[in-house]
Amino acid sequence: MTSSGMTTVPVLEAAGVSKIYEGQAVVKEVDLTVGRGEVKAIIGPSGSGKSTFLRCLALLEASDEGQIRLEGEPIGEIRGRIAFTRERQLARERANIGMVFQRFNLFPHLTAEGNVQTALVTVRGLSRHEARERADEMLARVGLAERAHAYPSELSGGQQQRVAIARALVMEPKVMLFDEPTSALDPELVREVLDVIEELAKAGMTMIVVTHELDFARGIASEMVMMDQGLVIERATPDRFFGSPKHSRTRQFLDHME
Query: Which of 4-8, 28-32, 85-89, 141-145 is predicted least confidently?
Result: 4-8
Reply yes or no on whether the pLDDT at 86 is more than 80. no
DSSP 176: E
List, in order, residues 6 or more apart from 168 with CB less than 8 Å away. Answer: 98, 99, 100, 176
Mean pLDDT of 97-120: 94
Task: Specify the pLDDT at position 7.
Answer: 60
DSSP 246: S
CB 19 within 8 A of CB 63: yes
Residue 66 has φ and ψ, to the nearest 5°, of 90, -175
Task: Specify the pLDDT at position 154.
Answer: 97
Q: Model-level pTM?
A: 0.91
Rounded Cα distance between 187 and 193, Å, is 11
pLDDT bracket for residue 111 (50, 70, 90): very high
Residue 15 CA neighbour count, 13 Å, CB half: 10
CB 148 within 8 A of CB 113: yes
CB 104 within 8 A of CB 164: yes
Rounded Cα distance between 72 and 51, Å, is 23
Per-residue pLDDT of 52-61, as tens digits, reads: 999 999 999 9
CB 47 within 8 A of CB 38: no
Reply yes or no on whether the pLDDT at 258 is more than 90. no
Task: Specify the pLDDT at position 68.
Answer: 94
Mean pLDDT of 238-258: 93
Reply yes or no on whether the pLDDT at 4 is more than 90. no
Rounded Cα distance between 237 and 222, Å, is 6
Domains in the chain, please, with CATH? 12-96+174-257 (3.40.50.300), 103-172 (no CATH)
Average pLDDT value over all residues in the chain: 92
Run of H or E residues at 26: strand 24-34
User: HEC string of 125-146?
Assistant: CCCHHHHHHHHHHHHHHCCCHH
